[in-house]
Every structure is written in C-alpha cells, then in structure tokens.
Amino acid sequence: MSKANNILLKAFGLLLLVGAILKGTQLLTEPGVTTPVLALNEPANTTSSYEILEPETWVGKKLPLIDYIDIGESLEKGNWLILLYHYDCPDCAEAIPKYERMARDLVGNGDFLRIALIEMPPYGPPLAAPDSLCTLGRLANTKQWFVTTPAVVLLVDGRVNHAWEAKAPDFDAILSKIASSEEKGPFAHNGSCYEFTYQQSKTPKRWKGGRDVYLRFLVSLFN
C-alpha cells in the first residue's frame, strides 16, 4: 500500500475514534446515561459511505465484495486467485507482473485455477500489461474501501478458502498453504490421480500421482 494511502487510512481511523469519543461524551451528559455507553459507540467497520476490509476474517464465507466487483458473476464459479490492488501501491506494482507470469504458467489449466486482478478506487493508470492473461476487474467506487494492499484471496465457487493482507504470496506459498489443509472443506481430495503440466521458466514440468505438493494442490482443485 502506498505511503499516502497508509497515512489516509490512519487519519480516517483517528477521525472515527474522535467522533466516537465526542458522541460518547455527548451521551454521558444526558440524564440516566452511564459510562458503558462510550464503549458501545466504537466506529463501525461497515457503513453506507465506507468499509474497512479485513480479508483474513472472510475465510469460509462468501466473498463479501463479490456484488461490488464488475466481474463478480464470473468469480462465483470455479477456482480463482484474486489480487486486490491500488494503482499507487509500490508492493502491488511489484506483485502484478509476478501474478501475470503465474497466469502464463497456468495456460491450458484455466478451468482449474484462474487469476484476477481487481483494481480498487480511486482508479489510476493501469498496472496490468496490455497482453495480460489475468482477468481484469474493478471494485465499485460506491463507497470508500480501506485495506492494506496488496490483498490476495483464494476463492472456490465464490467462497473464500484462504486470504492474505498486506502481501502477495508467491506460487509455492499458495500451493503449500492449500496443501496443508487438503483434507478440509472444498479442497478435500478423494484419492483420484490426475496429471498436470506447469510451465515454469518456460520449462514444462509434469507431476503424476504420489504426494507431491503441487499435485495435491491441483488435484484438490479438480474435485
């Protein structure tokens, strides 16, 4: 996330806190109102004008942003790796080319895992390459969204299986994370054996059977 956005997020949080304190103080002056009222007036994470996003709390739930993303209907089906980014975020600018290479490496296996780059408002110059093989989308500017980018979410039919905030994990980290929970939820493996080709650094590699982490991850996606 850019330094400017970080400062804005902290300032916004401070304003919300000050507003809550003032509101609580006002209530405390009213007859019959006691101290605990202040504790009940903490700033809300979600309102009609802003929303503070906490991706790691989404695991096991339907992606709460899906109705606000222009390609949300597509994200409701299949397996997706989603990168949320700001155009002026240095870490995002560094991560996007890596995810585009990942998409190229997965060519021919799009039915099993697709990658989407979702731009958050305010919009700016595009960070994706003109010939990007990632699916491109935007989060609606209907409200202010606050999150430390890059944020990455792994979806299975619209539900969040894993999430990362303030970092963009590499392919091996993503595979290892999913392989560690292969016996759980939608990634449970029924024992079937499949073959998969992963083109890494222009050198095709193949895995078939066994307990290799790549196969365990990819087989779980096939189910």
Question: Residue 7 pLDDT > 60, yes or no?
Answer: no
> Which fold, 44-222?
Glutaredoxin (3.40.30)
Distance, CA of 160 to CA of 169 (rounded, Å) = 16
Angle 199-179-160 (CA atoms, 0-180°, nearest 5)?
95
Query: Which residue intervals of 29-111 are DSSP H helices?
Result: 36-39, 72-75, 90-105
Query: Over the stretch 65-113, which tens digit does the pLDDT of each residue have?
Result: 999 999 999 999 988 999 999 999 999 999 999 999 999 988 877 666 8
Looking at residue 128, what is its pLDDT? 96
- Structural domain boundaries in the chain: 1-43, 44-222
Confidence of residue 19 (pLDDT cuts 50, 70, 90): low
Other CB atoms within 10 Å distance of the CB of residue 84: 28
- The string of pLDDT tens digits covering residues 120-155 is 999 999 999 999 999 999 999 999 999 999 999 999
User: Which stretches of the chain are assigned E, i.e. beta strand?
Assistant: 50-52, 79-85, 114-119, 135-138, 144-146, 151-156, 159-165, 195-200, 203-208
Please give the pLDDT value at position 163. 95
